[in-house]
Amino acid sequence: MADELERHIAANLEGVERRIAAACARVGRAPSEVTLVAVSKTRSIAEILAAHRAGVRHLGENRVEEAEGKVPVLRDSFTADPVTWHMIGHVQSRKARGAVEFCDVIHSVDSLHLAARLDRFAAELGRSVPILLEVNVSGEASKYGFAASDPTARADLTSQIGQFSAFPRLRVEGLMTMAPIVAAPEQARPVFRALRQLRDELRDRAPFSAWRELSMGMTDDFEVAIEEGATMVRIGRAIFGPASY
């Protein structure tokens, strides 16, 4: 059974990597420019170990409490070949310490209040934490993130970003967004393009960061995201199969 699971995940992973390479080729990018984050939320320890044996080295969790249960259990298994744990879901302020303690990169920093909490706990734990700022470029009310769907919101965002200099333990490395659920991947392209354009604007307006990373694109739309400049794609179902809850 374990061998069958590993073969299944390895074949899926190979297919995803081929699709990443093809998307990169279409726009003249190198596949090495794109980090594949395998979304391990709800996945069993056996599934995660199989993915690791297949070559996965970046794992993404949506909930701090789930990361708290998995990371310590898997730490010894990954000693010889470590993984990078990414927090890709919304982080409640009261869960900030756990996010810093159990995750290596936090994609979903969506407020100055949360940033202050993360910085405080990073200092207590003696860590410097790479983060991405989650922005809402689609304007959907249901989405988390700094508002960035119109010129007024973007101007306010630039002002807020300037305040990140007050958080010395956080390293702002780029932006993240969640695209709307759409019928066809092409419909998400304007959202991904808007995030890339915002990132490029911030390189001039907020030069304290290189703004290298763009975390955008999931199973249903990651190829379009790559064509628009994604440097991190967050893929679960295409690797592991349908989610188990």
Distance of CA 9 to the CA centre of its chain: 21
As given in the structure block, the two tokens for residue 167 are 């958080």
Structural domains of the chain ordered from first start:
2-239 (3.20.20.10)
Angle among Cα 150, 108, 173 to the nearest 5 degrees reads 85
The predicted structure's pLDDT at residue 1: 60
Is 175:205 a contact under the CB 8 Å cutoff? no
Confidence band for 140, pLDDT divided at 50, 70 and 90: confident
Maximum distance among all Cα pairs of the chain, rounded to whole angstroms = 55
- List helix spans (H) across 42-179: 45-54, 64-75, 96-102, 112-125, 151-162
pLDDT tens per residue, range 21-60: 999 999 999 999 999 999 999 999 999 999 999 999 999 9
Examine the pLDDT at 193 and tell me if it is beyond 70.
yes
